[in-house]
Amino acid sequence: MVPATASFSITSPSPSDMASPEELHPAPTTSLLPNPSTTTTTTTTTKKSLTPLLLLLATFLSFASAVLYFSSKPHPSPPTVVSRPLSTLPRPTVILISADGFRFGYQHKAPLPSIRRLIANGTSADLGLVPVFPTLTFPNHYSIVTGLYPSSHGVVNNHFLDPASGSRFSMSSHDPRWWLGEPLWETVANHNLTAATYFWPGSEVPKGSWHCPPKFCQHYNGSVPFEDRVDTVLAYFDHHDTVPSFVTLYFEDPDHQGHLFGPDDREITDAVVRIDDMVGRLIRGLEERRVFDDVTLILLGDHGMVGTCEKKQIILEDLSPWIDIRDDWVDSSSALLSIWPPAGVSPSEVVDKMNLGLSSGKVENGKSLRVFLKEDLPERLHYSASERIPPVIGLPDEGYQVLLRRPKWSSCGGGHGYDNAFFSMRTIFVAHGPPFRKGWQVPSFENVEIYNVIAAILGLKGAPNNGSAAFPGSILLPTYY
């Protein structure tokens, strides 16, 4: 499957969007100096009519505009090779911020001065962060903090059946038996350091040395205003000697608006501006506490978003001439179809009959759904090695929805959960702080790499995971790996 890059245009930010205090005081590298010939021309043509003071002013403005122009462009190669030492805090600290459903490209919908500031002065993924499959909220958030694919960390969907016990996982399940692997807050606590979670899937679950301490572990409540979340995190930085080593901060937007209105609506722009406001609030608060230069901020999302409409539906009821798929067989539908055939019905038979019907030309949009035995799924999806993954998996094309029966009313909105090869499922990755080069872009990568990056920044020995041991060396400055 080829990423649909052509369907999404990426525009370059204008220089005026990029101005920030850090950019106005760039490091004195030669690439930031004005072109000498341009400066000479300016001074020659104005020499006769300008006083020396005006001449000086004109030269300064020429220099300043050149600095702004050149500093607005990301450096194509590493501009610095030495990390900055901490100036205020006793040890490294990472704030991991998730904006749910922040599709890659949303960062160009509005000026977004704070996010642009982080991009211009930090390291970002040039074409976005690649989520794990399925591109859903819980599997991806937990992959980010464990470095494991869902088949390894056990959270294989937002809702699913555990065939061993017969019980179901939901987004409010906090029993540790569901949540496998070692999340970062546990790794941090196991090293006798402090972690603080302001919402993150799995963060309320006791694991190892992590017991979700009341002072540093917020229980999920979606009605808490975003400002309160930021301000609580900022309060952790009031006393420099007790700053947590690792902090999570979660926002439900712009996923919420994406589902309701699709990725191209004005509501998305407003939601993204609001996320930028929260990033700005966090930066200002860290600056006021004189720790912004020492703190590593990582801003990312869990997945992207694609428009869905009634014309792109595959109705399972339409397959009844070939096979009657009962509602209670279906574990999940919409962007990810997963089916538990009952005892006595072989999964292979379900796959064969479904694909026969779908390819017959008699089922509306049938050719936009492919059904697999899970062991026959493409290896790159890493979606078979768990007994929690149902034996029959259907992959709809981008933007198509699988529904049990034809809905009574039509609607258009947005969805996710699709194959992670679709470009629309990508999200952002922006990192800013002492371990990261300024104004640098790295090729896109999968979010299972992030666990090792954060463990390296904090100087911790992480748990085994699906990330590459070499990846931190490709993105961090030398002293951090």
| Cα–Cα distances in angstroms (integers) from residue 122 to residues 116, 194, 226, 235, 269, in the given order | 10, 25, 24, 24, 23
CB of 303 vs Zn ion, minimal distance in Å: 7
Beta carbon of residue 417, minimum distance to Zn ion (angstroms, whole number): 8
Q: Which residues pair with 370 in a beta bridge?
A: 395
- Single out the segment in contact with Zn ion by CB under 5 A; choices: 255-263, 307-315, 318-326, 397-405: 255-263
Contact letters for Zn ion, residues 82-121 (x by CB under 5 A): ----------------------------------------
Residue 150 is which amino acid?
A: P
Q: Does 255 bind Zn ion (CB under 5 A)?
A: yes
**CB of 362 vs Zn ion, minimal distance in Å:** 33
255 vs 398, beta carbon nearer Zn ion: 255
CB 335 → Zn ion: shortest distance, Å? 10
- Joined together, the tokens standing for residue 431 give 């990192």
Residues 280-339, interacting with Zn ion (CB under 5 A) = none
Q: Near Zn ion by CB under 5 A, which window of 247-255, 262-270, 325-333, 400-408?
A: 247-255
CB of 473 to Zn ion, least distance (A): 33
Q: Which stretch binds Zn ion (CB under 5 A): 61-69, 251-259, 353-361, 373-381?
A: 251-259
* Burial class for 376, CB neighbours closer than 10 Å (0-12, 13-18, 19+): exposed
Helix, strand or coil for residue 424?
helix
Residue closest to 22 by CA, chosen among 287, 229, 224, 251: 287
Determine the residue type at 397.
Answer: D
Instruction: Give 308 or 465: the residue with its C-beta nearer to Zn ion.
Output: 308
Q: 295: helix, coil or strand?
A: strand
Instruction: DSSP letter for 423, please.
Output: G
Q: How far apart are CA 358 and CA 318, in angstroms?
A: 9
Sheet containing strand 195-198, edge to edge, reads 217-218, 195-198, 246-251, 93-99, 295-300, 429-432, 123-125, 440-442
Window of 183-191, 252-260, 339-347, 430-438 that interacts with Zn ion by CB under 5 A:
252-260
In eight-state DSSP terms, residue 367 is G
Q: Using the rule CB under 5 A, give the single segment among 121-129, 147-155, 248-256, 285-293 that binds Zn ion.
A: 248-256
17/252 with CB nearer Zn ion: 252
Distance CA 429, CA 449 (A): 12
What number of other Cβ atoms are within 10 A of residue 155's Cβ? 29
Closer to Zn ion at the Cβ: 114 or 143?
143
**Least distance to Zn ion from the beta carbon of 134, Å?**
11
Q: Which residue is nearest to Zn ion (CB)?
A: 255
Residue 208: CB atoms within 10 A of its CB come to 14
Q: Which of 191, 256 has the CB closer to Zn ion?
A: 256
Q: Which is nearer to Zn ion, 22 or 100 (CB)?
A: 100
Residue pair 304/294 in contact (Cβ under 8 Å)? The answer is no
Per the annotation, the verdict on 41 as an active-site residue is no
Closest among 455, 411, 420 to 435, alpha carbons compared = 455
Q: Using the rule CB under 5 A, give the single segment among 86-94, 167-175, 249-257, 461-469 that binds Zn ion.
A: 249-257
DSSP 8-state code for residue 366: G
The residue from 123, 135, 137, 187 that is catalytic is 137
Question: Which CB sits closer to Zn ion, 186 or 255?
Answer: 255
Q: Percentages helix, strand, coil for the chain, rounded to the nearest 5?
A: 35, 15, 50
Cα–Cα distance, 253 to 273 (Å, whole number): 10
- Residues binding Zn ion: what is the number (CB under 5 A)? 1
Shortest spacing between CB 259 and Zn ion, in angstroms: 6
- Which one, of 198, 199, 194, lies nearest residue 460 by Cα? 194
Closest distance between Zn ion and the C-beta of residue 229, in Å? 19
- 255 or 419: whose CB is closer to Zn ion? 255
Residue found by looking up tokens 């800013």 in the block: 432
Residue ranges in contact with Zn ion by CB under 5 A: 255
The residues annotated with a catalytic role in the active site are: 137
